[in-house]
Amino acid sequence: MKVNTMAELMMNGETPEILFWVGCAGSFDQRAQKITKAFATILDKTGIKWAILGKEEACTGDPARRAGNEFLFQMMAYQNIQVLNGYGIKKIVTTCPHCFNTLKNEYPELGGHYEVIHHTTLLQQLIDEGKIRMKEGGSFKGKRITYHDSCYLGRANDIYEAPRKVLEALDAELVEMKRCRTKGLCCGAGGAQMFKEDEPGDKRINLERTEEALQTGAGFIASACPFCNTMMTDGVKLNEKEEAVQVLDIAEMIAMNME
């Protein structure tokens, strides 16, 4: 796949419509790379002119800030904002709710003002505009899907409906978990928990959440966050259900069934 970086476009005197902020998970995590590729494929097919920062992108600083390391956060933010402003970036899309939250809510105060949207919102817009059309009788037709709300998308930024609307386009049967939307249960990765072991307790949070997802009897758990995806995938494995249940990002589901 040929992916343009901002630097390359700049050299050709071009500006993209939208910057795809890939995020660290999307760049380096083997599972999340598939989500990145799926979303990149969708962008390509819709004819949108897009680019990435590539080597110039750096961690937004979200895990550092939430762990308490404000110095490191400010350093990362300072560098990223310099790069983004240097390219005159106006609009950013990202597949990571943590990057989304930081870029959208925390960078403006530090001098970074962009229109930031999460990929599920963009997907919904593209479906509504008819730029994404789904195959007749796609692979999820009539299948049971349950959507796991990401805390940083839902409670933190009030985005509950866009991911569900996108899933509706798959013509599948959407089933909700006992705890969903504002009552949703965390996957256990936020607040820099991804980067350490759980504190002592009765159970790991991702296991609790996965069990709730499995109780719906859905064959697919839809996620909209690479960290949620990892946590739920681990949970499914620990339940020895990987034969029956698949954890997929919404972008992957759409990419599989686009015309």
Partner 1 sequence: MQIIQQVLFVLLAGAASWLFYKKASEIRRNILLGKAEDLNDQPAVRWRNVVLLALGQKKMFQNPLVAILHFVIYAGFVIINIEVLEIVLDGILGNHRLFAEPLGSFYTFLINAFEWLAVGVILVCVIFLSRRNIIKLKRFISKDLNGWPRSDANYILITEIILMSLFITMNAADRALQLNGNAHYHDTGNFFFSGLLAPSLQSLGDSTLIAIERACWWLHIVGIFAFLNYLPYSKHLHILLAFPNAYYARLDAPGKMRNMPSVQNEVLYAMQPELAPADAAPPARFGAKDVMDLSWKNLLDAYSCTECGRCTAACPANSTGKLLSPRKIMMATRDRLEEVGKHINQHGSFQDDGKSLLHDYISVEELRACTTCNACVQECPVSISPLDIITELRRSLIMEESNAPHEWNGMFSNTENNFAPWKFSPDERDQWANA
Site for partner 1 in 172-231 (CB under 8 A): 182-186, 188-205, 208-209
Binding to partner 1, residues 36-55 (CB under 8 A): 36-37, 40, 52, 54-55
Could you say whether residue 3 binds partner 1 (CB under 8 A)?
yes
- Give the Cα separation of 143 and 8 in Å (integer): 42
Could you say whether residue 155 binds partner 1 (CB under 8 A)?
yes
For partner 1, the closer of residues 28 and 237 by Cβ is 28
Could you say whether residue 11 binds partner 1 (CB under 8 A)?
no
- Kindly state the tokens that stand for 259: 């015309």
Q: Contact 149/161 with Cβ under 8 angstroms? A: no
Q: Which of 10, 75, 175, 256 binds partner 1 (CB under 8 A)?
A: 75
Q: Which of 9, 10, 48, 67 binds partner 1 (CB under 8 A)?
A: 67
- Give the Cα separation of 70 and 77 in Å (integer): 10
Could you say whether residue 112 binds partner 1 (CB under 8 A)?
no
Could you say whether residue 16 binds partner 1 (CB under 8 A)?
no
- Biggest distance spanned by C-alpha atoms of the chain: 57
Q: Please, what is the minimum distance in Å from the beta carbon of residue 106 to partner 1?
A: 6
Could you say whether residue 240 binds partner 1 (CB under 8 A)?
no
For partner 1, the closer of residues 54 and 219 by Cβ is 54
Q: For the chain, where are the E strands, in sequence order?
A: 18-21, 50-51, 91-94, 115-118, 144-147, 173-175, 220-223, 246-249
Q: Contact 221/146 with Cβ under 8 angstroms? A: yes
Amino acid letter, 28: F
Could you say whether residue 83 binds partner 1 (CB under 8 A)?
no
For partner 1, the closer of residues 68 and 217 by Cβ is 68
Residue from 36, 43, 35 nearest 18 by CA: 43
Could you say whether residue 101 binds partner 1 (CB under 8 A)?
yes
For partner 1, the closer of residues 57 and 134 by Cβ is 57
Q: Under DSSP, is residue 1 helix (H, G, I), strand (E, B) or coil?
A: coil
Query: Which value, to the nearest 10 degrees, does the dihedral of the CA atoms of residues 116, 81, 59, 161 take?
Result: -10
Binding to partner 1, residues 18-37 (CB under 8 A): 22, 24, 26-30, 33, 36-37
